[in-house]
A and B are shown apart, each in its own frame.
Chain A
Amino acid sequence: MAGFGSQAGVHNTAQDLENLLARVALKDRKAFSQLYDRTSTKLFGVCFRILNNRSEAEDVIQEVYIKVWNRADQFATGRASVIAWMATIARNHAIDRYRARGKPTQQLDDHLDLQDVGPTPEQALLQADQKNQIDLCLDQLKSDHALAVRHTFLSGWSYQEAADTLNIPLNTVKTWIRRSLMQLKECLKS
């Protein structure tokens, strides 16, 4: 009789995370703790980058993991990797929290150095192929367009916030980002 043997070979990280999340869907607390250990510093960094406030980022990260615990079975219905799925939840919660404040509390010139956006050569070396790929693709865009995409995504800006912060007309920002996304999609296919 055919049996379900354990999968042979070494799992890559993505597969490990998927297996952990499957256990979380079965309400395995130990697996959930491992998932937290492996992902929380990254997700906290992502939330902190948007909120720029430790206490708020900690509130958000709590909400994020409670949602992951409750909705882990829903992951299987999607197309994203575990880390992309979790990062999306984290970004959305952080963005909602950020926008609930009302006025933006960070200004571009306070916190960001435009020359500092890209990865350092060391980071670039350490990063995975896809990272290099999206950087190469961004390099093919006009530099101000690429910069708008990066900052908007990392800061969790709306079009309006991007327009205000980058001091560019709203319609121009929309056009830049939409066109850039289409070009990125084409570039990443190849």
Chain B
Amino acid sequence: MTSPLNERNKMLAAEQAMGVLEGQLREEAAKRYETEIEFRHEVDEWSERLLPLLDQVPSASPSPAVWQNIERAIGTSKTNSSPWWAAIFSANFLAPSFAGALAVLILVVGINYLPLTFVPQPTLIAILSGEAAPQAMLARFDQRSGTLTLTTNMQAADGHEHELWVIAGEGAKPVSMGLVAPKATASITLPDDIRQLLAQGAVLAISVEPTGGSKTGLPTGPVIATGILDLA
């Protein structure tokens, strides 16, 4: 556990949200915003508090060239490169060695990428990707309320549906969390037994199933995207 921010750091967060810091202090605060979740949340809370002051600033339209430049910039930037956890992608859960391989990969990935200190936080997120479906789905899990919110651009072919699974860890079987609404943002409040499976490091996966979902309790079709739940 990290200790809560002391009064001095709380004031620093407020000052960063105000924008009154300069020079090295401002740079340090900006860096802490990126790297310290407690500090980041404190700054965010201040940004939210101060936001209504901006209501009195008159809106104004930038010239159309601005949007054209933005479009050009994002068209050429390498924003679609595969994220690190895409390496975990596997064609099918039915491959017998999958669970074992997954465990090894999680371990390797864990050593390299997970934060060194574990800080329990109420929200976990995962971006699910696969070879044919880069950045297919964003999952946000609010541990406090047990609500899982999914946003996806995908739509299954006729006669099929996408089913979401969680693999809690090494050797664990995939557990279904339900069918995924196509091209939508949707939320579901999960039952307690499923909530317990959704911890940092758990893998989420989407499989293609017949209409109505898998009848066997395990994925029967190809897994098209996976992602790891990580601290928000």
Contact = CB atoms under 8 A, between A and B. Distances in A.
Interface residues of A, number: 78
A172 interface: no
B57 interface: yes
B213 to A, nearest CB: 5
Contacts, number: 219
Contacts of A135: 52
B160 to A, nearest CB: 14
A162 interface: yes
A157 B22 CA distance: 9
Nearest to A72: B138
B181 A3 contact: yes
A23 B151 contact: yes
A80 B79 contact: no
Contact of B22 (A128, A158, A178): A158
Interface string B133-168: 011111010000000011111000000000010000
A80 B80 contact: no
A45 B59 contact: yes
A67 to B, nearest CB: 10
Given A5-B186, A44-B62, A62-B73, A27 B79 contact: yes
Which of B21, B49, B71, B177 is the most central at the interface, judged by chain A CB atoms within 10 Å of its CB?
Answer: B49
B24 interface: no
A65 B70 contact: yes
Nearest to B40: A78
B185 interface: yes
Given A26-B153, A44-B60, A119 B50 contact: no
Interface in A150-183: 150, 152-154, 156-160, 162, 177-178, 181
B5 interface: no
Contact of B80 (A27, A57, A66): A27
Contact of B184 (A6, A88, A91, A157): A6
B47 A42 contact: no
Interface in B178-232: 178-181, 184-188, 212-213, 231-232
Contact of B41 (A79, A154, A185): A79
B132 interface: no
Nearest to A159: B20
A26 B62 contact: no
A111 to B, nearest CB: 13
A115 interface: no
Contacts of A147: none
A58 B77 contact: no
Contact of A1 (B15, B176, B184): B176
Closest 3 CB pairs of A and B: A22-B151, A131-B52, A79-B44
Interface of A: 1-7, 19, 22-23, 25-29, 32-33, 36, 40-42, 44-46, 48-49, 57-58, 61-62, 65-66, 69-70, 73, 76-81, 83-85, 87-88, 91-92, 95, 99, 117-119, 123, 127-128, 130-131, 133-135, 149-150, 152-154, 156-160, 162, 177-178, 181, 184-185, 188
